[in-house]
Amino acid sequence: MDGSISRSDGVAAFHVHPGHAFEGFELVAQPNAPPMLLACCQCGEVLDIAEARFAACRDCAGGGCVRCGGTGRIVDHGALEWRLPSESAE
């Protein structure tokens, strides 16, 4: 196995460090740029990055609830295009 997680539809997902736990995601706002989603390893390294993509929250239909933090939208994980942090955006 090459250390990446893949989906059945062929869209590449983020890489993982063998033997390390996945820490979670971090949403980072940037001035004059789209927000980025970081996939983070428990060791502290950023595994991969993707431009954040959002969808209407299906629990509240965009009205705001606990799941979406009142924003009315959630991350659309299926639309994310992961790349290594060292790769430049195309």
Distance CA 4, CA 48 (A): 10
Please, are residues 43 and 17 in contact by the beta-carbon 8 Å criterion?
A: yes
Q: How many CB atoms lie within 10 A of CB 10?
A: 6
pLDDT at 35 over 50: yes
Please, what is the average pLDDT of the chain? 82
Global pTM value:
0.72
Q: Does residue 53 fall inside a structural domain?
A: yes
pLDDT of residue 27: 93
Residue 88 lies in a domain: no
60-86 pLDDT, tens digit each? 887 889 999 898 999 998 899 999 888
pLDDT tens-digit series, residues 10-22: 445 667 888 888 8
- Provide the residue range defining the domain that includes 51: 4-79
Nearest to 85 by CA among 17, 15, 8, 10: 15
Assigned domain for 45 exists: yes
Q: How many domains does the chain have?
A: 1
11 belongs to a structural domain: yes
Residue 84 covered by a domain: no
Q: What is the pLDDT of residue 89?
A: 55
